[in-house]
A and B are shown apart, each in its own frame.
Chain A
Amino acid sequence: MINVIKRVAIGIAVLVGVCAFYTGYRELFLATGWTWPFEVDDITLPSLPSIVGALFDPVQEDGELLISLLFKAALFTAKEAFVGFVIGTIVGFTLGAVIARFQMLQRGLMPYVVGSQTIPILAIAPIVVVGLGSLTIAGWTPSDWLRVSVISAYLTFFPVTVNTVRGLESADPRAIELMRSYASGEWAIFLKLRLPSSLPYLFGAFRIAATACVIGAIIGELPSSIQGGLGGAIINFNQYYVLNPQNLWATNLMAAALGISFFLVIVIAEKLLVHRPPETLT
């Protein structure tokens, strides 16, 4: 309990510190007129109160408040990211398990699984999202948001695959011998030993993937003229940035909040599911 209070207190202190740094930097540069590395004014760094104020201003003709619009956008992006996360996890885990099982595949595929990450994946986003739009499989065309999920899934699959392989191979060799001495087959060793040993690694991957799938969803929205999500909002507000810089800042803060929420969900799930000696938890 004390720990929780301490955590929250430090959290608030950090938040206040960041706000104070932002405001201090802004005021200092405004007062001195310094222009390096960039010129500070109400457009490049809008004041914090103006950003918060903008949240409660109507943005559209129908008088919808920015905060409500952003909230809906965040939910929309969250849906894309979540679906992508699930697909990426299923594909990544299956691939990882197969790779871990067969040495040959490991030699053949692992370099490319790693190599696939040196491709700036997000660079493909426009092509995949636009390209998949003209794809029909047996009369079914993936909807706009589902195409964005593909990007999230792609970003999720990599860490999940790599850590699944690592995790499944992390099982204590003596424990494997123990299982062998019980004459248990590969499947029993997988279920009772390899899978549980891999959980901490899997969650390590999930933490990375939780962040990546949100990024994938936001970037995936950019070229697809999808308006409903945060990526669409960023494009939108970016066009009117000079008039209303606060709107873009507010959108980005919402995106930050979404990314952190995804991350925290994974951290909490890990706390609940993984029983580990405390010192090995990081």
Chain B
Amino acid sequence: MSTLAVAESGGGVGRASGFARTWLPAALVFGIGLLCWQWIFPDVLGVKPFLLPRLSDVLSALWENRDALKTAAWITFKEAFGGLILGSGIAILAALVLARWRPLGNALIPYLIAANAIPVIAFAPITNAWFGTLSPWSKIVIAAALCFFPVLVNTLRGLTSVHPSSIELMHAYACPQRTIFWKLRIPAAMPYLFTALKIAAVLAMIGAVVGDYFGGSTESLGVQIQSAVALSRYELGWAAIVVASVIGSVLYGAVALAERFVIRWHPSVRAVD
């Protein structure tokens, strides 16, 4: 009984110090990073403001332009989020279809992987021509196109990654294809799907911002960055990038959170606990 209590309290201490050990280095690096940004880069290394303005200058630019940036952030977030949903949705459906008809899926997968190497973002001017430069749809569609291939390829790989003996087991239980999909293939695909969605979250943000570089609403984040740079207002440009990064991180974090929730059983998640 007493040994148990000792063991438990020992575990508690271990967890607390484990927490410190896990997060302290990260917090330290964060602090050093801010320090570098604020003093070491500009003062010691002489990094010019046009490359990386001082942190405090960026923050004050962020504060001064908070209204414009808030509007821009909202516009760009909607575009990125819409693109993420649209592109991933279609890709997941396509993956389900291709996994259902294996010969087709097997034949196509090398080409889908190769198609993933196409610099899709270069097609942004064309979606601008389709929907009009100012329409959010031109950005949503390019963001969706960016998300499409990684999600499709990864999901398909996940759906077909099931161990053959597991499928044989299900066959032995006389399960129909549909059950095998629901009980086996889809759970097995989840880790792959979430890996892809995390990539896609970042890509959607890139699509929404970079799509603007080929023309977009003056209120959007990408155009703000571009015009700030053109006018040599670098603090404002960096402030806009900080905003874009925050949106990107939020999207990424949301997917990561959903992942931890959905696939709690997976070793990659358990390992973090």
Contact = CB atoms under 8 A, between A and B. Distances in A.
Direct contact of A and B (CB under 8 A): yes
Contacts of B107: 10
A231 to B, nearest CB: 8
Interface string A133-167: 01100000000000000000000000000000000
B244 A259 contact: no
A245 B123 contact: no
B209 interface: yes
Interface stretch (B61-69, B179-187, B233-241): B233-241
Interface string B116-140: 1111011101100111000001000
B225 A123 contact: yes
A215 B119 contact: yes
Contacts of B234: 127, 131
Contacts of A274: none
Interface residues of A, number: 60
A63 interface: no
A127 B48 contact: no
Interface string A229-265: 0110010001001000100110110011011101110
Interface stretch (A169-177, A186-194, A216-224): A216-224
Given A234-B122, A248-B125, A248-B126, A264 B29 contact: no
A196 interface: no
A249 to B, nearest CB: 7
Nearest to B210: A122
Contacts of A115: 249
B119 A112 contact: no
Contact of B206 (A121, A238, A258): A121
Interface of B: 21-26, 28-30, 33, 48, 50-52, 107-108, 110-111, 114-119, 121-123, 125-126, 129-131, 137, 141, 157, 201-202, 205-206, 209-210, 213-215, 221-222, 225-226, 229, 234, 237-238, 240-241, 244-245, 248-249, 251-253
Nearest to B108: A14
Contact of B119 (A117, A118, A119, A211): A211
Contacts of A218: 119, 121-122
Contact of A118 (B51, B209, B225, B249): B249
A43 B125 CA distance: 12
A210 B114 CA distance: 11
Interface in A264-282: 264, 282
Contacts of B241: 119-120, 123-124, 127
Given A38-B131, A120-B209, A123-B241, A107 B21 contact: yes
B229 A109 contact: no
B213 A223 contact: yes
A112 B117 contact: no
Contacts of A37: 130-131, 137, 141
A178 interface: no
A104 B201 CA distance: 29
A120 B129 contact: no
A64 to B, nearest CB: 21
Contacts of A223: 213, 226, 229
A260 B225 CA distance: 30
A112 B126 contact: no
A118 B202 contact: yes
Contact of B114 (A38, A219, A258, A264): A264
A209 B221 CA distance: 26
Given A219-B121, A252-B123, 13 more contacts: A37-B137, A44-B129, A107-B22, A108-B25, A117-B202, A118-B249, A122-B121, A122-B210, A123-B210, A127-B241, A241-B125, A248-B125, A282-B157
Contacts of A43: 129
B23 to A, nearest CB: 8
A127 B229 contact: yes
A180 interface: no
